[in-house]
């Protein structure tokens, strides 16, 4: 992993880096995030991979990434993708359904207890 360019963007509380990486196949965003986290001593959740580019037939890839100082600034300046929004909506729906089921179960148990008392 070779650092080509590093720009410290103090206004947005992040570092913008361009890295050259040699691999046999195109690396995944997860692999790159882990490697950048090790080299820059940062948390993996504060790293955004913007672009992975490689030339045909070469094993060298150029990676553009943003490394935020903290999660609050990342949440403030980064947009949420449609896929992430959909995932968040589905999780909230599941939580609501589970909550309703739990309420129904408690009501059923209360009715059973009342019938047993009578």
Render pLDDT for 20-43 as a digit per residue (tens, 0 to 9): 999 998 899 999 999 999 998 988
The 10 Å Cβ neighbour count of residue 8 is: 11
Does position 104 have pLDDT exceeding 90, yes or no?
A: no
Which CATH number covers residue 35?
3.30.70.3370
* Average pLDDT taken over every residue of the chain: 89
Same domain? For 44 and 92 the reply is: no
Report the alpha-carbon angle 55-63-27, nearest 5: 75
DSSP per residue, the chain: -EEEEEEEETTTTEEEEEEEEE-SSPPPHHHHHHHHHHHHT--GGGEEEEEEEE-TT-SEEEEEEEEESSHHHHHHHSPPPHHHHHHHHHHHHHHHHHHHHHHHHHHHHHHHHHHHH-
Same domain? For 66 and 106 the reply is: no
Same domain? For 74 and 96 the reply is: no
What range defines the domain where residue 60 resides? Answer: 1-78
Same domain? For 40 and 96 the reply is: no
Does position 118 have pLDDT exceeding 70, yes or no?
A: no
């Amino acid at each position: 992993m070779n650092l080509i360019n590093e720009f410290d963007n103090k206004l947005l509380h992040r570092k913008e880096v361009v890295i050259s990486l040699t691999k046999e196949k195109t690396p995944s965003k997860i692999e790159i995030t882990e490697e950048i986290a090790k080299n820059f001593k940062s948390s993996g959740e504060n790293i955004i991979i913007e672009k992975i580019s490689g030339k045909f037939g070469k094993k060298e890839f150029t990676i553009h990434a943003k490394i935020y100082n903290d999660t609050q600034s990342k949440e403030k300046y980064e947009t949420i993708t449609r896929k992430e929004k959909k995932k968040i909506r589905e999780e909230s729906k599941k939580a609501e359904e589970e909550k309703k089921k739990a309420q129904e179960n408690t009501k059923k148990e209360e009715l059973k207890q009342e019938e047993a008392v009578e």
